[in-house]
Amino acid sequence: MGGHFGDLARMRHVVTYSLSPFEQRAFPNFFSKGIPNVWRRFRASVFKVAPPMIALYLTYTWGNSTYRASKRKVHADFENDE
Amino acid sequence: MASLRKTQPLLKIANDALVDLPAPSNISVWWNFGSLLGLCLIAQILTGLFLAMHYTADVNTAFSSVAHITRDVNYGWLIRDMHANGASFFFICVYMHIGRGLYYGSYLLKGAWNVGVILLLLVMMTAFVGYVLPWGQMSFWGATVITNLLSAVPYVGNALVQWIWGGFSVDNATLTRFFAFHFLFPFVIAGMAMVHLLFLHQTGSNNPLGLNSGGDKVPFHPYFSYKDLLGFAVLLVVLATIALFTPNLLGDPDNFTPANPLVTPPHIKPEWYFLFAYAILRSIPDKLGGVLALLASILVLLVVPFLHTCKLRGLTFRPLSQFLFWALIANVVILTWIGGMPVEDPYIIIGQLASVLYFSIFLILFPLAGWLENKVLGLT
């Protein structure tokens, strides 16, 4: 079923190097580089994600307040009542 | 001398799916939801089986049998709460899984995608008939509203509805057969899930880059076996938190009242996971039109592969389409909100605009954005 290891892709002249886990830190620069990276990823996506969510919030609040207002008495309608 | 797991016929199937399966090295958390759906299915089948040992599918005793389970059966309250909230988690995982499919262009694996749409329909049908079983007010009236929609079918509509009901209204015959369906469908889902995986394993999984990953695969075990196990732990913790601390958060208070055909609740609405479709149904003033729109809201997924226009597979490198994707998500949230609101101003117009936008995004805007991105990125 599907691909099997050894029969996936033709790769030639690719050399990979790696360090022993005992010769490196497990989570290098986790905070010093990680936090600026979170900020970078946020900036890259915020203008694509936030506008629809802002529109969602505004629609929600406007819709609910308009509905509530429609259930309230409008004093101007009764101004000329005796 | 090949290992037994690679030669024994049964073990070979498990091995090729869960151990030696070549998987892209870069699949992210969004790829966890497939296995999470499998976990949800197993959890629902197990909790459902234990509930079925004590539940009675008769209109005179159904409601009180659920109360009996909750109060008298050992840990019945927990089994019941896990099953009810497990259904919500099933749909959370389903929608995340579909979202991943849309975002990363996984729908181009057409076999898996089409079986997936069938699975979605089966899961929806299972949840619908399952919600009727406690025989509360919302169980009864939700069933009445939705089954009545079938009368919109030309010529045979009324006969069809009475055939489904087993009578002239939702009554005992309906409840007993819905219990039978609710018991049966999960096993059909399990079988279809295996077909879903069969198609998936022809090509292997997609990945966040949308590129061929043949040159960079890792074995499923241990990388994704352990990653999926972590996903299971997270899901179970969140499910247990909801089931133990706020078991009725996602439920309707009306379902604590036994079903009464003579008293119509003021606001009949389905569970949260159906609200977006309910909003689309109600946005069209005509009954048949609404039913067709309801069906189209799910079946539109079947045409998505044919509307793929961009040379790039997923949305990772397509900012315009990404914006549209999030517009779709926000729109579905709006539809969910509207589906739970009464059919009054301004909810009517919001629901109609959101329904138009839903179909526009799939049928017009996504293909257009893909075509534009081809031009802007110089891919043509």
What pLDDT, in 10s, does the model give residues B24-45?
Answer: 999 999 999 999 999 999 999 9
Residue to test with chain A: of B13, B350, B355, B358, most A Cβ within 10 A = B350
Residue with tokens 């990979």: A16
Whether the pLDDT of residue B280 is over 60: the answer is yes
Amino acid at site B334: I
Would the CB atoms of A53 and B330 count as touching at under 8 Å? yes
Residue with tokens 């506008």: A51
Confidence of residue B380 (pLDDT cuts 50, 70, 90): confident
Which tokens go with A12?
């030639």
* Active-site residue, from B35, B139, B205, B297: B205
Residue-range definition of the domain harbouring residue B368: 269-379
- A23-58 per-residue burial string, b: 16 or more CB within 10 A, e: under 16: eeeeeeeeeeeeeeeeeeeeeeeeebbeebeeebee
Structural domain includes residue B194: yes
Which of B260, B287, B320 is at the close of a domain?
Answer: B260
B341 touches chain A (CB under 8 A): yes
B196 near B119, Cβ under 8 Å?
A: yes
Structural domain includes residue B141: yes
What pLDDT digit, counting tens, does each position of B54-83 carry? Answer: 999 999 999 999 999 999 999 999 999 999
Integer Cα distance of B248 and B174 in angstroms: 26
What's the confidence (pLDDT) of residue B186? 98
Whether residue B168 sits in one domain with residue B20:
yes
- pTM of the predicted model as reported, rounded to 2 decimal places: 0.96
Which of B214, B233, B260 is at the close of a domain?
Answer: B260
Q: Give the other-Cβ count within 10 Å of B213's Cβ.
A: 22
Whether residue B162 sits in one domain with residue B109:
yes
Whether residue B252 sits in one domain with residue B298:
no
Would the CB atoms of A11 and B323 count as touching at under 8 Å? no
Q: What is the CATH number of the domain that holds B87?
A: 1.20.810.10
* Active-site residue, from B12, B54, B68, B201: B201
What pLDDT digit, counting tens, does each position of B295-328 carry? Answer: 999 999 999 999 999 999 999 999 999 999 999 9
